[in-house]
């Protein structure tokens, strides 16, 4: 059953608050988005997941044309790339959570599937996790690197930066993100023990 715009906002705000309150997002450096009626609702520049509300979303179309006055997150091009290339994706979560970032800093990771699946749940909830080489956040170079890899994997770690996780809904993206971060935590703990 299709969600109303109000239900999508409620889910997005709940997800943001949950991530912030559990230390998975901090300050004003995380962003999320969802699609409704061919418009992308994305957290605005400088917004905080801990205090996020409906008025903290910028509204754009899939070409990036803006429909309200709030400046969108500088990572908007990454979100738009996901929505254009992954047609089932209707929501994206991007945070800088610690274990995902730690794992993304390791040398020699497989760019197509960089995260070990020590439990079955990462593959069940998300699939493969690609590694996007480091480029400055919000830069055209990062967008180009992401565009070159978006169709090679199901979710992504931006090296030295953080995960980008899509879903058919905000809750699906959230659940997939949770598995990615938990898998990164497990992999980090096990890396010198196996």
- Read out DSSP for the chain? -PPPHHHHHHHHHHHHHHHHHTTSS-TT--EEEEEETTEEEEEBTT--GGG--GGGEEEEETT--BSSSSPBPTTHHHHHHHHHH-TT--EEEE---HHHHHHHTSTT--SSS-S--SSTHHHHHT--EEEEPP--TT-HHHHHHHHHHGGG-SEEEETTTEEEEEESSHHHHHHHHHHHHHHHHHHHHHTTT-
* CA 180/CA 157 separation, integer angstroms: 9
pLDDT average, residue stretch 17-38: 96
Helical axes 76-85 vs 140-149, angle rounded to 10°: 20
The pLDDT, as a whole number, for residue 163 is 98
Judge contact between 41 and 12, C-beta under 8 A: yes
Q: What is the pLDDT of residues 144-163, one digit of tens each?
A: 999 999 999 999 999 999 99
Which range of residues forms the domain containing residue 74? Answer: 5-190
The residues annotated as belonging to the active site are 75, 121
Q: What pLDDT band is residue 193 in, cutting at 50, 70 and 90? A: confident
Q: What is the pLDDT of residues 7-19, one digit of tens each?
A: 999 999 999 999 9
**Domain count of the fold of the chain:** 1
Q: What is the largest CA-CA distance in the chain?
A: 52
CATH of the domain at 181: 3.40.225.10
pLDDT average, residue stretch 136-151: 97
pLDDT average, residue stretch 23-45: 96
Judge contact between 74 and 43, C-beta under 8 A: no
pLDDT average, residue stretch 39-67: 97
The pLDDT, as a whole number, for residue 194 is 64
Q: What pLDDT band is residue 1 in, cutting at 50, 70 and 90? A: low
Evaluate if residue 92 carries a pLDDT over 70. Answer: yes
Evaluate if residue 192 carries a pLDDT over 80. Answer: no
The pLDDT, as a whole number, for residue 6 is 98
Beta partners for residue 129, in sequence order:
155
């Amino acid at each position: 059953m299709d969600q109303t715009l109000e239900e999508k906002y409620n889910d997005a705000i709940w997800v943001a608050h949950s991530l912030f309150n559990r230390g998975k997002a901090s300050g004003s450096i995380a962003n999320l988005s969802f699609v409704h009626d061919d418009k992308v609702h994305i957290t605005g520049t400088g917004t905080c997941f801990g205090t996020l509300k409906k008025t903290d979303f910028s509204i754009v179309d899939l070409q990036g044309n803006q429909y309200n006055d709030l400046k969108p997150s500088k990572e908007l091009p990454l979100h738009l790339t996901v929505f254009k290339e992954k047609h089932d994706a209707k929501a994206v979560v991007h945070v800088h959570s610690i274990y995902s970032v730690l794992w993304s800093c390791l040398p020699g990771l497989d760019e197509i599937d960089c995260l070990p699946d020590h439990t079955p749940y990462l593959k069940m909830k998300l699939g493969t996790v690609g590694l996007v080489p480091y480029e400055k956040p919000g830069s055209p170079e990062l967008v180009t690197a992401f565009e070159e890899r978006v169709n090679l994997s199901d979710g992504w770690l931006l090296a030295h930066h953080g995960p980008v996780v899509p879903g058919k809904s905000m809750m699906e993206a959230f659940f997939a993100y949770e598995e990615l971060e938990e898998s990164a935590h497990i992999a980090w703990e096990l890396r010198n023990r196996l």
